[in-house]
């Protein structure tokens, strides 16, 4: 015998009641899922909310950028002991950063370039404050006074000036600020390593300010030449670098000037040569105007 409900208010069939029960469970599940997503998003914003990236040529929160990207603030780099660009691979999945002598060889997702001659561009584009570093010998960087490092994974278009098949690595240094501040840091390690960093932020007026930073790092080589002739130690480090920034922020004009100088006189990255007479001596200057 069936149940007839037409014209009788307050009476419901068993199949209709089942459908309503299922709908109620689905709605409850959706509400629980939404709250879980909201809690996860809130927790993520708590962790990453202070990291603003410019991976799409505009300032955005890291969690809002629809790009496969790993970003690290300067404070995070300092707290984790990441002192140079190669060490970023320890905190970035799919990034491998090797070198052969002075030739840097980063790989992202297994794609990269081994050795390139003049006129050939690597598969991973490297940028320092928005300026493209074209040569493999110029992208083994020590990280000091850095605001953040961004690792963009996957093919990149011409958003930053050139396309790249594997990805891009962007190093952004700190800008001039309105606060007066200074910092000196020094340390000593094994292999007689001595390093030091210094920073001075100096606002000269309401419109004009400067930022000066510098670092030095010296250590003995990791490899010893067993032959009496030739260079005694390999893979040592003798590096000094300074950077200066000037900012003018007027009513109608904003201008930024960056000057950098570095000097390196060592055999960093060379540890397989048993005998040799040549000495690597490099130095250079960088400058840019925005």
Asked whether the predicted pLDDT for residue 266 surpasses 70, the reply is yes
DSSP-assigned letter for residue 175: P
- Given 130, 155, 173, the domain boundary residue is 173
DSSP string, 136-164: GGG---B--SEEEEEEEES-B-STTSS-B
Residues 228 and 145 grouped into a single domain: no
For residues 87 and 90, give the distance between their C-alpha atoms in angstroms, rounded to a whole number.
6
Domain range for 93: 52-173
pLDDT band at 204 (very low <50, low <70, confident <90, very high): very high
How many structural domains is the chain composed of? 2
pTM confidence score:
0.71
Indicate whether 4 belongs to any domain: no
Q: Which pLDDT score, from 0 to 100, does residue 50 have?
A: 62
Greater confidence, 288 or 101? 101
| Greatest mean pLDDT range, 7-11, 165-169, 272-276 | 165-169
* Residues whose CB is less than 8 angstroms from the CB of residue 113 and which lie 6 or more positions away in sequence, other chains included: 105, 120, 122, 123, 124, 136
Residues 146 and 201 grouped into a single domain: no
DSSP-assigned letter for residue 55: T
**Tens digit of each residue's pLDDT (9 = 90 or more) over 231-241:** 778 888 899 99
pLDDT band at 140 (very low <50, low <70, confident <90, very high): confident
């Amino acid at each position: 015998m069936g149940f007839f409900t037409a014209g009788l208010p307050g009476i419901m069939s068993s199949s209709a009641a089942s459908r309503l029960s299922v709908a109620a469970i689905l709605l409850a599940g959706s509400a629980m899922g939404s709250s879980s997503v909201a809690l996860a998003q809130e927790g993520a914003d708590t962790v990453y909310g202070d990291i603003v990236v410019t991976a799409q040529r505009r300032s955005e929160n890291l969690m809002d950028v629809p790009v496969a990207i790993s970003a690290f603030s300067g404070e995070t780099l300092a707290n984790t002991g990441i002192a140079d660009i190669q060490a970023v691979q320890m905190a970035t999945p799919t990034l491998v950063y090797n070198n052969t002598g002075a030739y840097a060889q980063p790989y992202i997702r297994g794609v990269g370039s081994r050795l390139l001659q003049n006129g050939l561009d690597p598969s991973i584009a490297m940028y320092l404050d928005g300026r493209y570093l074209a040569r493999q010998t110029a992208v083994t960087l020590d990280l000091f006074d850095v605001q953040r490092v961004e690792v963009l994974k996957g093919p990149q278009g011409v958003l930053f000036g050139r396309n790249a098949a594997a990805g891009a690595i962007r190093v952004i240094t700190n800008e001039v600020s309105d606060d007066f501040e200074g910092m000196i840091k020094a340390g000593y390690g094994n292999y007689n390593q001595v390093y030091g960093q210094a920073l001075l932020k100096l606002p000269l007026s309401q419109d004009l300010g400067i930022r000066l930073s510098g670092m030095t790092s010296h250590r003995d080589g990791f490899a010893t030449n067993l032959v009496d002739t030739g260079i005694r130690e390999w893979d040592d480090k003798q590096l000094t670098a300074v950077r200066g920034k000037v900012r003018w922020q007027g009513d109608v004009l904003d201008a930024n000037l960056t000057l950098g100088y570095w000097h390196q006189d060592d055999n960093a990255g060379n540890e397989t040569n048993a005998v040799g007479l040549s000495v690597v001596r490099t130095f250079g200057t960088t400058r840019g105007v925005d």
